[in-house]
Amino acid sequence: MLKIYNTLTKQKEEFSPLNPPLVKMYMCGPTVYDYFHIGNARSFIMSDIVRRYLEYKGYVVTFVMNLTDVDDKIIKKANQEKKSAREVAEFYIKEFFSDIEKLKIKPATYYPRATEFMSDMIDMIKKLEEKGIAYNVDGNVFYDVSKFNGYGKLSGKNTDELEIGARVEVNEEKKHPLDFALWKKAKEGEPYWDSPWGKGRPGWHIECSAMSCKLLGESFDIHAGGHDLIFPHHENEIAQSEAANEKPFAKYWLHFGFLNINEEKMSKSLGNFFTAREVLKKYSAEAVRLFFAQAHYRGPLNFSDELLQAAEKGVEKLQNLSDKIEDELQKNSDEGKQIEFDFNNWYEKFEQAMDDDFNSAQAVAVMFDFTREVNRIIAENESLNKDFYNNVKSFLKKTAEDVLGVISFQKKESLPSLEDDLIELLIKIRTEAKKEKNYALSDKIRDELKNLGVILQDTKDGTSFKKVRR
C-alpha cells in the first residue's frame, strides 16, 4: 500500500487517485532564463523517480511539467543580452531539454509554455473578477486574499502571520499586503498581450493554475515542486484555482527538500552555485541520480564532491553486476545448476521501501544488499541455470533501471578501433612507467582514462580496460 506525505494535511496518507488507474501529476518546471542549477535537478530527478514508481505500480501517469517562458527574470536577461524575451526563452528551453535528457529524466506527457495558454489565464482572471475576488487598478489586476477563507492552509500559517513574515513588495495599489498580481500592466519595451484590462502579461502564479487545470482538469491527483515554492507560489495557486472553480485543486502535494553545497546553502553570492551541466562534466548522470536517491526526497541534502565520488563507485558496483549478468547469459545454458533464490522477497523489500512515501534511500540499500548476495552466489557456483540470471536481470531492470534510472542494460556503443588502439598504447606506456617506478605517471594515465569513461583493471595476467557510460 503506497503512502504519501501530503504537505496539505501534514501527514502520510494512503494514495488513492481520483480515477484509478489514471494518475494526473503536475510538476513546477523551470523559468527559462538560464541553465538550471543542481538544486533544480534534485526536484526534477526525484519527481521523475516518483513518476517512474507510480508506473511500476501499474498506474497510467499523465505527467505535466510547465515551462515559464514569460517572466521578469527573462525580460531582465533579454535586456542584458540585447535580445528579445522570446529569443532568450527559446534558447534556454532547448538547453533545458538537452540537460534533462542527459540526466535520464523521462519526457513529460506535456510541456506547456505559459505563452501558449494566455487565453486560459485571461479567462480564469475574468472569472475571479466576476466573483469579486480579483480587482483591477489601472490595468494591474490583483487577487484579494481576504476573500478566500482557506488562504494559508498549505503553508500552515494564518494570514496575520504571513503578512508579518512574508517578503512582499510594497505596492500602494494593493488593498492588502498579501494580495498578489494576476495581471501586470505592460511597461515600455516589455512583451505584452491584449486583455480586458489593457496590454499586459500574466502573473507567475496564474500561469500554473491555468495550465494545470486546462491539461489535467480542475481537480487532479498530485502537485509537486521544490520546498521553496510552498509559499507563496503554491499557496496562491490553491487560492486562485479553488476560488475560480469551486472545487478542490490538487489532492496530494509533494515538496522536495533544499540542497546545500558543502554544508552551506547554495547561492550565487557565496560562489557555490553549480549548474546541472557543470556537474555532469565531472560525474555521470547515473551517479547524480543515485546521489539524490540515497536521501529521502523531503529532507535537506548536502552536495559535495566526496559524496558524488562515492555515488559514482556505487553506480559502478551496480553496473558491474548488470554487465556480469549479460555476460553470463551469453555463455550459460539451461543445463546449469538450479538454486533456490527468493526473488519475490527482494521485490517486496524494494516495494516496502518505496511504498513508504517514496523512501528511495531504503530502496537503494535494498539494491546494494541484493547485489552483494547475487555476487556471493555467482562466486560460489561455477555454472548456474540461465533462469537465475534472467531473474536477476529482470529484477535489476525493473528496479535499478526503470524506477531509479541508475544503471542501463542497453548495449554500449563501441569506441572506434583507433581509439581502442590508443587506449592499449596508453596501457603499454603505463606498464612501462610502473616498471620504472614512475608511479605519478602511472596513476595519472589511470585517472585521466577514468575521467574519459575508461576503467583500467589490473590483474596478474596484465591490464584490461572497460568502457562505462558517462
Determine how many CB atoms are found less than 10 A away from the CB of residue 353.
19
For helices 360-380 and 386-396, angle between their N-to-C axes, nearest 10 degrees = 160
Distances in whole angstroms, Cα of residue 318 to Cα of each of 64, 310, 324, 376, 396:
31, 13, 10, 14, 9
Cα–Cα distance measured from residue 227 to residue 300, given in angstroms and rounded to the nearest whole number:
10
Strands (E), 100-146: 134-137, 140-143
Helix (H, G, I), strand (E, B) or coil at 256: strand
Query: Per the annotation, does 190 bind a ligand?
Result: no
Question: On the CB side of 50, how many CA atoms lie within 13 Å of its CA?
Answer: 34
Q: Looking at residue 107, what DSSP letter applies?
A: P
Cα–Cα distance measured from residue 129 to residue 126, given in angstroms and rounded to the nearest whole number:
5
Q: For residue 436, give the C-alpha cell.
A: 620504472
Helix (H, G, I), strand (E, B) or coil at 314: helix
Query: Per the annotation, does 466 bind a ligand?
Result: no
Query: Per the annotation, does 213 bind a ligand?
Result: no
Distances in whole angstroms, Cα of residue 304 to Cα of each of 40, 259, 291, 307, 406:
16, 10, 10, 5, 19
Query: Per the annotation, does 268 bind a ligand?
Result: yes
Q: Using an 8 Å Cβ cutoff, are 429 and 449 in contact?
A: no
Going by the annotation, the residues of the binding site for ATP are 268
- Residues in binding site for Zn(2+): 28, 208, 233, 237
Q: What residues form the annotated binding site?
A: 28, 208, 233, 237, 268
